[in-house]
């Protein structure tokens, strides 16, 4: 009986820790994502009226840039600023027409 109670308590504690860590992880991810979008916007001289979601979609769907952006995100997560900036500089800017709203 005590064994079941102990296991249940342990599972609840593990679940709580996972949930408690989740908001911090989500916030960290969102801040890194926003920094990457901001830096891509500056690197490619993109207008402020282009939605962040569209920038994210265009760059992540670009076969030419996918690896550089994923590497930049990894470097940023590891707090490697030099590596991060190096990967951002490797990104080739798509034509501005690519940022037009997607057609339904």
Q: Is residue 65 part of a domain?
A: yes
Task: Name the residue range of residue 59's domain.
Answer: 2-99
Name the nearest CA neighbour of 76 among 88, 64, 67: 88
- Number of domains into which the chain is organized: 1
Could you give the CA distance from residue 33 to residue 15 in angstroms, rounded to a whole number?
Answer: 26
> What is this structure's pTM?
0.73
State pLDDT tens for residues 67-92.
Answer: 999 999 999 999 999 999 999 999 99
Q: Is residue 92 part of a domain?
A: yes
Q: Among all chains, which residue has been given the structure tokens 């962040």?
A: 52
State the pLDDT confidence band at 100, using cuts at 50, 70 and 90.
Answer: confident
Q: Is residue 104 part of a domain?
A: no
Cβ atoms of 39 and 88 closer than 8 Å: yes
Query: Cα dihedral angle (39, 45, 47, 51), rounded to 10 degrees?
Result: -40
* Backbone angles phi and psi of 35, in degrees to 5: -65, -40
């Amino acid at each position: 009986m005590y064994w079941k109670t102990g296991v249940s308590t342990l599972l609840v504690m593990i679940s709580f820790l996972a949930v408690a860590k989740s908001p911090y992880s989500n916030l960290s991810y969102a801040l890194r994502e926003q920094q990457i979008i901001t830096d891509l916007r500056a690197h490619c001289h993109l207008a402020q009226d282009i939605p962040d979601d569209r920038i994210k979609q265009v760059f992540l769907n670009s076969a030419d840039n996918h690896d550089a952006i994923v590497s930049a995100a990894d470097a940023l997560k590891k707090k490697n600023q030099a590596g991060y900036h190096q990967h951002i500089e490797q990104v080739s800017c798509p034509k501005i027409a690519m940022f037009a709203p997607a057609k339904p």
